[in-house]
Amino acid sequence: MNNRTEKREMKIAIIGGGAAGMMAAATLLEEVVDAEIHLFEKNNVLGKKVSISGGGRCNVTTGINDKNILLSKYTRGSKFLIPAFGLFPPDKVFKWFEEQGIPLKIKNDLRVFPKSDNGKDVVKLFEDLFKNKIKVHLDLSIESIEPTEKGFTLTTKNGKDCFGIVVITSGGNAYRHTGSTGDGYDFAKSCKHSITKLGPSLNSFEVKEDWCKELAGISLENAKLITNTNKEKTSAVGPFLFTHFGISGPVTFAFSSNTAFEKIDKKCPLKIGLIPNAEYNFNSLDKLLQNLIAENGAKQIINIISELTTRRLAEEILKISKINKDKKSAEIKKEERNEISHLLSGKLELNLIARRSGDEFVTAGGVDLNEVNRKTMESKILPNLYFAGEVLDIDGLTGGFNLQSAWATGRLAGTSIARKLKIEN
Ligand SMILES: Cc1cc2nc3c(=O)[nH]c(=O)nc-3n(C[C@H](O)[C@H](O)[C@H](O)COP(=O)(O)OP(=O)(O)OC[C@H]3O[C@@H](n4cnc5c(N)ncnc54)[C@H](O)[C@@H]3O)c2cc1C
Digits of tens for pLDDT over the chain (425 positions)? Answer: 344 444 556 899 999 999 999 999 999 999 988 899 999 999 999 999 999 999 999 999 999 999 999 999 999 999 999 999 999 999 999 999 999 999 999 999 999 999 999 999 999 999 999 999 999 999 999 999 999 998 999 999 999 999 999 999 999 999 999 999 999 999 999 999 999 999 999 999 999 999 999 999 999 999 999 986 656 678 899 999 999 999 999 999 999 999 999 889 999 999 999 999 999 899 999 999 999 999 999 999 999 999 999 999 999 999 999 999 999 999 999 999 999 999 999 899 999 999 997 788 999 999 999 999 999 999 999 999 999 999 999 999 999 999 999 999 999 999 999 999 988 87
The helix or strand, by DSSP H or E, that contains position 338, with its residue range, turns out to be helix 334-342
User: Which atom of ligand 1 is the closest one to the Cα of 401?
Assistant: 11
**Structural contact between residues 218 and 240, judged by C-beta atoms closer than 8 angstroms:** no
Q: Is residue 2 part of a domain?
A: no
Name the domain boundary from 359, 376, 393.
359
Residue 300, beta-bridge partner list: 328
Do 240 and 152 lie in one domain? The reply is no
What does 204-248 look like in DSSP terms, one character per residue? -EEES-HHHHHTTT-EEEEEEEEE-SSSS--EEEEEEEE-SSEEE
Same domain, 332 and 379: no
- Do 160 and 17 lie in a common domain? yes
Q: Domain check: are 145 and 238 in the same one?
A: no
Shortest-distance Cα residue to atom 37 of ligand 1: 170
Whether 1 is covered by a domain: the verdict is: no
Instruction: Report H helices in 13-140.
Output: 19-30, 48-52, 67-71, 82-87, 90-99, 119-130
Q: How far apart are CA 31 and CA 412, in angstroms?
A: 12
| Boundary-marking domain end, from 359, 374, 392 | 359
Q: What number of CA atoms fall less than 13 Å from residue 105's CA on the CB side?
A: 8
Q: Which of 44, 402, 404 to mutate to test the pocket of ligand 1 (most atoms within 8 A of CB)?
A: 402
The count of other CB atoms within 10 Å of the CB of residue 4 is: 7
**Closest atom of ligand 1 relative to the 22 alpha carbon:** 25
Residue 242: inside a domain:
yes
Residue of minimum CA distance from atom 41 in ligand 1 = 142
Who lines ligand 1 at CB under 6 A? 15-21, 40-43, 48-50, 52-54, 58-59, 141-142, 169-171, 174-175, 179-180, 183, 361-362, 389-391, 400-403, 406
Q: Which structural domain, as residue segments, surrounds residue 114?
A: 7-199+362-424
44 and 190, same domain (yes or no) = yes
Distance 174 CA to ligand 1 centre (A): 8
Query: Across the strands, what pairs with 379?
Result: 372
Model pLDDT, residue 4 = 41
Pair 195, 368: CB distance under 8 Å: yes
Please indicate, yes or no, whether residues 221 and 314 belong to a single structural domain of this protein: yes
For 35-55, b where at least 16 C-beta lie within 10 A, e where not — what string? bebbbbbbbeebbbbbbbbbe
- CB within 8 A of 42, min separation 6: which ones? 139, 140, 141, 142, 179, 183
pTM for this prediction: 0.93
Residue type, 78: S
Q: Which atom of ligand 1 is nearest to the CA of 170?
A: 34
Amino acid identity of residue 304, one-letter, is I
Pairwise CA distance, residues 415 & 30, whole Å: 9
Ligand 1 atom at minimal distance to the Cα of residue 21:
25
Ligand 1 atom 23 nearest Cα: 19
Domain membership of residue 166 (yes or no) is yes
Same domain, 215 and 240: yes
Q: Report if residue 168 sits inside a domain.
A: yes
* Closest alpha carbon to 50 in 22, 85, 84: 22
Name the residue among 353, 20, 365, 22 with its Cα closest to residue 174: 365
Same domain (yes/no): 161, 259: no
Residue 2: its pLDDT value, please?
40
Residues 229 and 195 in one domain: no
**CA-to-CA distance for 104 and 57, rounded, in angstroms?**
11
Distance 277 CA to ligand 1 centre (A): 34
Within its chain, how far is the Cα of 71 from the centroid? 13
- pLDDT given for residue 424 in this prediction: 81
Instruction: Based on the fold, state whether residues 36 and 184 are members of the same structural domain.
Output: yes
- Looking at this protein, which amino acid is placed at residue 390? E
Q: Do 386 and 302 lie in a common domain?
A: no
| Ligand 1 nearest atom to the CA of residue 390, by list position | 26
Number of domains in the chain: 2
In a domain, 371, yes or no: yes
Interior angle at CA 43, CA 40 and CA 47, nearest 5? 80
Q: Which of 49, 203, 362 to mutate to test the pocket of ligand 1 (most atoms within 8 A of CB)?
A: 49
Cβ burial, residue 247 (10 Å; 0-12/13-18/19+): buried
Q: Among the three residues 325, 340, 359, which one is the final residue of a domain in this structure?
A: 359
- Asked if residue 189 lies in contact with residue 368, where contact means CB atoms within 8 angstroms, the answer is no
Atom of ligand 1 nearest to the CA of 143: 41
The total number of residues shown for the chain amounts to 425
Atom of ligand 1 nearest to the CA of 57: 8
Q: What are phi and psi of 111, to 5 degrees?
A: -80, 145
Element (H, E) at 112: strand 111-114
Q: State the Cα–Cα distance between residues 356 and 206, nearest whole angstrom.
A: 6
Which of 75, 139, 170, when mutated, tests ligand 1's pocket best, judged by the most ligand atoms within 8 Å of its CB? Answer: 170
Mutate to test the pocket of ligand 1, among 361, 404, 405, 409 (most ligand atoms within 8 A of CB): 361
Residue 180 Cα to ligand 1 midpoint, Å, equals 6
Helix (H/G/I), strand (E/B), else coil: 300: strand
121-126 long-range CB contacts below 8 Å, 24 or more apart?
122/47, 122/50, 122/51, 122/58, 122/60, 122/97, 123/22, 123/45, 123/46, 123/47, 123/50, 123/51, 125/97, 125/100, 125/101, 126/22, 126/25, 126/26, 126/46, 126/47
Which residue has a Cα nearest atom 51 of ligand 1?
361
303 alpha carbon – ligand 1 mean position (Å): 47
What is the 14 CA–ligand 1 centroid distance (Å)? 14
- Same domain as 157, residue 182: yes
> What CATH number did the domain enclosing 407 receive?
3.50.50.60
**Closest atom, ligand 1, to C-alpha of 388:** 26
